[in-house]
Structure 1
């Protein structure tokens, strides 16, 4: 079937490609050859007169036009499914799709994750892309700059805390300031991560000397190294410290805001509103 000059088959194939951003895996899902998928995507781009993806190093990323096409393709598929269900007298209901990162799933959304919800595990950029392309109905992420094209609903803000063994000298204090970290070995994320960048910027601005104990990816590994006394770790206040560790708020670091993200036109969509209500009802209170 064609819409004007747009092939619905090509649109559906592009939506699968947008999920993976990998021609090999997308072609496997579609049960077609990789060259055949390349042809579909290339002809779709030629029809629209716009590039739909770009290569950044070894990665493929969607252009804004590519995001719009993927979003349109998924919306079209949903409309066709609803139409056919109405004709056949069956229910068009589908499971809501939630996108978030590892930390949000572990410490913020645990009570929301249950059968009947499809999950996408992605970092901040991947969560934003999943919402923009319509792959996810709702995303949850920490944002320092709110996007203009996505509705961002504030969920909660949590203080930044220092995690340390419960017999550490700083554990006796009810709260801390950045200056208390002077000279401490710290367990921190890799340099490219937003948490690491913000923490280093704050320490540098305050003139606080510190040393690198080890770099670790993800809150669980940071906590693990802190429990092994490799160094101290700065984590968001929604993170739960395991036995043997304590966490104290660092009062002169800004709170970390978590947002729920969805497309502007879906503010009244039950798939979005019901999932958002579940998340709000389950949020931890923090310290």
Structure 2
């Protein structure tokens, strides 16, 4: 590979393709024809002497090398834009991208995003993901920072604990358990619970805890995502276990389940990402927006 030269144009084309993983949409975003984009990608793969993407069923997926090239391409374009901005005395127009889920956006990140957009429109962009999608977005450079609860810490990313909350049972004000100040798992015996689908980490961990405590329970309904979970709880379908940062909507109350483990949210980023002062500032702003009580719990629990 000595003497290899790869153009910024080819890297930009691949970065856009990696974001869409669709030739038609990527070509449209680049304002070029699909055959022209395909030619650029083929040339880049040939110059690097390795496949960058593959077809799996009806979907296109990046190879491991493709993820590395996509990450480099995005980093290269951002560094180039930052350099040119410094040279011209103008700020970068490329937004910082945060990958998170419902709970993170609703209860941890909203204030930071609102303030940053008020200061400079377009400076930050949310990317709604699950944990697996967050990891992929960080590894390919689509996102600068992720915020999630992690049940297994990644070995290829940096995870910084930023807030820890107890787990609470959310239920209507008239529910029989609402009279108690705190709950134990045994209090949930016979409950019909609103839970995520079976493969979700929260569902798995909750089932294990209830089973270990010998608590019988049944599924009231399986709900995908926090908004649907809260809607079902407000309808009286059943109680649900959520992180303590979730604010009960009108008509609902939350009671801590004392023998469930604390839940820790992490800020996740690629190694070296904080060398970019914009990303370091974003993390600092997120941490400063966390309630002090939640920050104090960080380090007292593995989450």
Q: Same fold (TM over 0.5)?
A: yes
What are the equivalent positions in structure 2 for 1:165-180 lying under 5 Å apart? 165-180=172-187
The match for 2:261 is 254
The match for 1:157 is 164
| Distance in 2 (alpha carbons) for counterparts of 1:220 and 1:86 | 42
Contact 1:98 1:119 in 2 (8 A): yes
Q: List structure 1 segments (4+ residues) > 6 angstroms apart after TM superposition.
A: none
- The answer to whether residue 58 in structure 2 is matched with residue 51 in structure 1 is no
How far does residue 92 in structure 1 lie from its aligned partner after superposition?
Answer: 4.2
- The answer to whether residue 92 in structure 2 is matched with residue 93 in structure 1 is yes
| Distance in 2 (alpha carbons) for counterparts of 1:26 and 1:11 | 13
Gaps of 5+ in 2: 118-122, 298-303
| Distance in 2 (alpha carbons) for counterparts of 1:63 and 1:255 | 37
The match for 1:120 is 127
Change (3 A) 1:240 1:58: farther
How far does residue 268 in structure 1 lie from its aligned partner after superposition?
Answer: 3.4
Contact 2:158 2:269 in 1 (8 A): yes
Moved more, 260-269 or 48-57: 48-57
CA RMSD in angstroms, aligned pairs only: 2.2
| Distance in 1 (alpha carbons) for counterparts of 2:57 and 2:172 | 41
Change (3 A) 1:30 1:279: same
Change (3 A) 1:192 1:44: farther
The match for 1:279 is 286
Normalised to the residue count of structure 2, the TM-score between the two structures is: 0.85
How far does residue 4 in structure 1 lie from its aligned partner after superposition?
Answer: 2.1
Normalised to the residue count of structure 1, the TM-score between the two structures is: 0.89
The match for 1:142 is 149
The match for 1:75 is 75
SS at match of 1:271: helix
| Distance in 2 (alpha carbons) for counterparts of 1:53 and 1:177 | 50
Moved more, 264-273 or 164-173: 264-273
Contact 1:185 1:211 in 2 (8 A): yes
